[in-house]
Amino acid sequence: MPTLYWRGTVDGDFGDVNNYVDSTGATPAAAPVNNDTIIYNHGSVDVDAGLTTGLTGLALIGTTGYTGRIGPSSPLVATYTSVQWKGSGSLNLSGNITAGKIKCRSGANFNYVSGTATSLFIDRTPYSLGGSAVVTTGRVYRSVGSDLNNATKFTLFEIDGGTHTSHRKGVFKLYNSAVLKAKSEAVLDDGTFIGNDCVCEYTSEETVASGDTVEVSSTGKFTAASSPTAFTYDGVLAYWPGASINLVTASGEVAPATTTRYGFEDGLDPEPIP
């Protein structure tokens, strides 16, 4: 499992052996192969060709010393055991990621086009997830995300701050003033949690399935951005005093199958929710 270092001098080909050095500083015997570790820690030269590799088991590491971009116009396609990225340039990937910690700097972003990502952590980085991307477990911290077009679902996606848009179903947990905009086809699965000062906006069609629970904390908001044309709430709405709930659609107000009120005195109805 050799370690290779990117040393391209002009925007270059991922599969060109002359764009790398090994740990001795010499040109390696081969361009990246399965299970290699590839380190980008020097220069600003983009990796913009030879991106569809089909390699497996890569460990991709970008440090603050690298300011170039990976896949400016099309993604680097491989299967990654890990991705650790702290570079200032954008990262454009496709393929499975077993573990990823993404923190692009200086306004760069992370674009995950397709594949399945497990233990994905995106830190202070704008990001997008493509239509064939699946996140089994993931967390974003103080990031802004768009086009969460998850092809299947989010098993668990924790959102800590920022504004995010989802077109697909899953379990979402919102913290620290996070905003989740649930677009058409969005389904909120059991365990979705809207923390204090966080907002979940349903902007068009949305569903809460039978038996699934959405919990809204005090000062959390579960609300329509504008009256949606269709909304189904066959599950449980659970909320604390101070939560703001709006289930009004163009066809009238939607009634959850079950409503659970936490923290209210026995025998007393809560104040109306605006």
The answer, yes or no, to whether residue 266 has pLDDT greater than 60, is no
Question: Rounded to two decimals, what is the model's pTM?
Answer: 0.85
Least confident of 6-15, 53-62, 157-166, 222-231: 222-231
Asked if residue 246 lies in contact with residue 223, where contact means CB atoms within 8 angstroms, the answer is yes
Least confident of 5-19, 28-42, 201-215: 201-215
Q: What is the 3-state secondary structure (H, E, C) of the chain?
A: CCEEEECCCCCEECCCHHHEECCCCCCCCCCCCCCCEEEECCECCCEEECCEEEEEEEEEEECCCECCCECCCCCEEEEEEEEEECCCCCEEEECCECCEEECCCCCCCEEEEEEEECCEEEECCCEEEEEEEEECEEEEECCCEEEECCCCEEEEEEEECCEEEECCEEEEEEECCCEEEECCCEEECCCEEECCCCEEEECCCEEECCCCEEEECCCCEEEECCCCCCEEECCEEEECCCCEECCEECCEECCCCEEEECCCCCCCCCCCCC
Identify the residue with better confidence: 202 or 204: 202
The answer, yes or no, to whether residue 237 has pLDDT greater than 50, is yes
Tens digits of residue pLDDT in 136-195: 888 999 888 876 655 456 778 889 999 988 877 788 899 999 999 887 777 788 899 999
Domain definitions of the chain by residue range: 152-274
Q: How confident is the model at residue 221 (pLDDT cuts 50, 70, 90)?
A: very high
Looking at residues 235-241, what average pLDDT do you find? Answer: 93
Looking at residues 73-87, what average pLDDT do you find? Answer: 94
Mean model confidence pLDDT for the chain: 87
The token duo for 249 is 């659609």
pLDDT for the residue numbered 55: 95
